[in-house]
A and B are shown apart, each in its own frame.
Chain A
Amino acid sequence: MTMFSSAFKTLLYKETLRFWKVSFQTVAAPVLTSLLYLLIFSHALEAHVRVYESVSYTAFLVPGLVMMSLLQNAFANTSSSLIQSKVTGNIIFVLLPPLSYREFFAAYVLAAMLRGLVVGLGVWLVTLWMVDLQYAHPLWIVAFALLGGAILAALGVIAGIWADKFDQLAAFQNFIIMPLTFLSGVFYSIHTLPPFWQAVSHVNPVFYMIDGFRYGFFGQSDVSPWVSLAIVGFCFILLSSLTLALLARGYKLRG
């Protein structure tokens, strides 16, 4: 009953409406950014790089860009919503009602996942005309998209409630999220890296999200998709538990 109370549904609706009202900024802009990445990288590297046999570099790039956009936007939704609400003070509108911390978590995370999925779908749609993608294992695509979105959304909740100022959130985004997503094999296979950087990539959970997601398209990956699923699933449980524990304590929200 509690998971689907009216308060939960209203907060989910409000968080969805919030990004949808500024969809030019929250959906169209990241889709355009990804399209530009694709145009530039595919033009520069298509003739020089081939990661998997029978898969062009441009086709290899598309799932990585879709997942990167999905992850970054899931993070951006929760983190920006919370920091804005905290800084402007309107966070009290969601702290005064009879919402449990679990409902609070679920509503913010689901809305962020939705934004991530909408942006990911947008990137996929605008790149369709450029490549002929395969869909070897669609369920893996869905599983990694949902889990990856949920993890980054939860991380966004942590960043949003931890940060007191916009520049702290920007630091979190620039020094943690960006390196994690850019150094995760979006633009390359980690097998092309020197051993040291391969080892570094293996401790980056975003690598497993992208590798598993890409497996769903091509049926090929750098590591077994089951290993990726286990690691991504573990990260989801870990981050969700941490976020829920912070919310239950009222960390930086309820004095």
Chain B
Amino acid sequence: MIPAIRVEQATKCYGSVQALAGVDLEVDQGEFFGLLGPNGAGKTTLISALAGLVRASSGRLAVMGHDVVADYRAARRSLGVVPQELVFDPFFSVRETLELQSGYFGIRNNGAWIDEILAELDLAAKANANMRALSGGMKRRVLVAQALVHRPPVIVLDEPTAGVDVELRQGLWQFIRRLNRDGHTIVLTTHYLEEAESLCGRIAMLKAGRIVALDTTANLLSRATTHALRIRLEAPATLPAELEASVVSREGVKLTLKFDRFDEVGVLLDRLRSAGARIEDMEVGKPDLEDVFVDVMRAA
């Protein structure tokens, strides 16, 4: 099967700055794929190169088998992009915006699908409102609607939930999950790592324009060996030096200690008791994607 996205040795230089430094990536059709990395890692540049918004300095990129330069029309028809910036055209209403976007992709009489998207994104009541009159969250929803208006098989969401309230976020993910179940390939960039952990089947981590980790979410999570022991003390206590080495964070009576093997928990608790600390509450935390992300970025 043709991959939804294929990137071969993509580089992009802005003067002396290398935004992409030889990226190789394949995303299969139907995947829910995460693209993670710190600011400036090259996520948006990679997405922009796929969408034709920037031109890669070298390498090849294809969407659904269509080269983004040589066969740009087919590549762009196959791709829907939700941009990171909250952009809109102040001259038009929500419905006009979506009708124009349909026309750009060669679709006429797209009213039924536009109505469905508006209903799904809870925008039906604002269909005839000017874009300027919408709140930030609603403008974000219109951007999602614009990316979906031509029913692209591949949908790229560049930090779609930045600044979006919890209710909308949940509704949006419900809708995107449904699109994924219907066969759409989803590529997501986000700084909310818990979102990526719960949604993405596979994840690539970028740093300085390179992919530094690429695996299934489950495999990435299994890489982390360090667990967290979160403790709340009855009163602040002075900890012995051998315990301080295990402290990840400390905030008043709240302590987070790290450990690799569960048999180390007893030792940590003994040392706390020896120091005269009385434990009020305690929990053991599993490693999450954030731990993996931090480890990968440190190691890269």
Contacts and interface: CB of A to CB of B under 8 A. Distances in A.
Interface of A: 5-7, 9-11, 13-14, 17-18, 21-22, 85, 88-90, 92-100, 250, 254-255
A98 B73 contact: yes
A193 to B, nearest CB: 43
Interface residues of B, number: 33
Interface of B: 12, 14, 48, 51-55, 72-74, 76-77, 79, 81, 83, 85, 87-92, 96, 100-101, 103-108, 146
B105 A90 contact: no
A254 B55 contact: yes
A7 B100 CA distance: 9
18 contacts: A6-B103, A6-B104, A7-B103, A9-B103, A14-B103, A17-B91, A18-B91, A88-B88, A89-B87, A92-B87, A93-B101, A95-B53, A96-B52, A98-B72, A100-B73, A250-B55, A254-B54, A255-B55
The DSSP consensus for interface residues of chain A is helix
A220 to B, nearest CB: 43
| Max chain A C-beta neighbours (<10 A), residue from B53, B72, B81 | B53
A99 B88 contact: no
Contacts of A13: 100, 103
Contacts of B92: 14, 17
A96 B76 contact: yes
A10 B103 contact: yes
Given A9-B103, A10-B100, 17 more contacts: A6-B103, A6-B104, A7-B103, A7-B105, A13-B100, A14-B92, A14-B100, A17-B92, A88-B87, A88-B90, A90-B89, A92-B53, A96-B52, A96-B53, A96-B81, A250-B55, A255-B53
Contacts of B146: 93
